[in-house]
Structure 1
Amino acid sequence: MITILIGDDYQYTRKMLEKIASENPFVSRIFAVEDGLEAVKIVQQETIDIALLDIDMPNLNGIEAAKIISKMSPKTKFVFITAHMDYAIDSFAVHPYNYLLKPIDISVFKDNINELVMSITSEPKQSSISMITVKDKNNTCMLSLKEIIYFQKVDKATVVHTNKEEYLINKTLTELENKLNSNFLRVHQSFIINIDKTAKIQDMGDRSYRIEFNGTKKTAYMSRYRFEKLKGTFTF
């Protein structure tokens, strides 16, 4: 399924683009922000397939935001939206799929979304990993995914939790999300869990859920937004 980021400082435009993009059956999630800095923050936490960015946004314009995003997420595809042609040459620095002028031609916009979705869904998928390299004190070893309960983002580090041990790895949750098999779900900006190890999900009443696991007292957390999206995945 496809995740889209929309960046535009006009609420009406954001809502319109969000509504049109959501009509594509392959689009599962849409994030809408009003400036370039917010767009970058979203990509730090989420896997974004398509970024639809207005160029003339406050704090950080769409082109500068796209340059940062393309380094963090090389596979993200860009469409720039603007009222001016002045930036067209500058936008080519991130090899955008297209450059749409306001007022937006809705049929052209729909065609762009459909074409991008088709190109992404038809790309061959990378095979998922079954082992991961971790550091154990001064040694490096291979750990089977079957042993892992969850991954946790702690400050700038990523911690791997098993029943008995914790390990540090040099990959972000976003990088892991693209490599892990379907047993692992991103349930929070700071957690990816192994659903095979999950025992219980408890509503904490503060827009979050606590996740308990089999064979350990360790817990993780799920955001309410993710719970609404993923609740059908859990069968206990």
Structure 2
Amino acid sequence: MFVRIAVCDDDSVFLEMLVKQVSQLFQNVDSSLELEYQIDSFQDGANLLGNWDHEVYDILFLDIEMPRASGIQVADKVRMKNPYVKILFITNREDLVFHSIQYRPFRFIRKNHLEDELPEAVNGLIESLHKENKYLKVSFNGTEKNIKIIDIHYIESCKHDIYIYTFHDTFRIKSNLTKLENQLEAYGFIRTHSGYLVNSRYVFSVEKTQVVLNDGREIPLSRYRTEKVKHKLQLYGRGTEE
């Protein structure tokens, strides 16, 4: 497996240190995984975006607060070009966590906790790369089908049927939403309502009565679940689960 990594921070000293630490962590990955990597560094978000036309990255370590093109602006453009890129925001501004959710960050790493949080983040990246090749086996129209878990946006329970919504297809199956919740919770799925299970990677925002996905679809949010949903989004952003 070959992984392309971009690191972007306007502080040259911090950038050099971050690239070095990321490189060391990837070098220490279990050799049995046969992982190769390439790291490119940028001090400017505009330069990173200019290079994106020539090099599509799998992983992006991105400083939120930068002049010219902020990390938020860069993430917005990057997501349009590559919906699967794993973005890790690097900052000391914890108040920006929810503002950045719409760009589906893989992690939110604090600069003053880099030594503690970066190793966990890299381990999480490696684990995620393998998880993305996982499939949900379902019975659809009398035949067995494997649905790639990363492609599932949300799941809806309607009467006695379960509807699974992906990028291009909708699958109707016979199952139980609680059973699916137990199966998919480890992959970042959150129960927002008694009848809905949502993939956290596609959450754009959390409103009073609904969760808005990045494609504009609105999923019902039970009032008593609101705090739990927000809490889980924070946990997934940190790479932890309860």
For normalisation by structure 2, the TM-score amounts to 0.48
For normalisation by structure 1, the TM-score amounts to 0.49
Instruction: Judging by fraction of residues, say which structure has more helix.
Output: 2
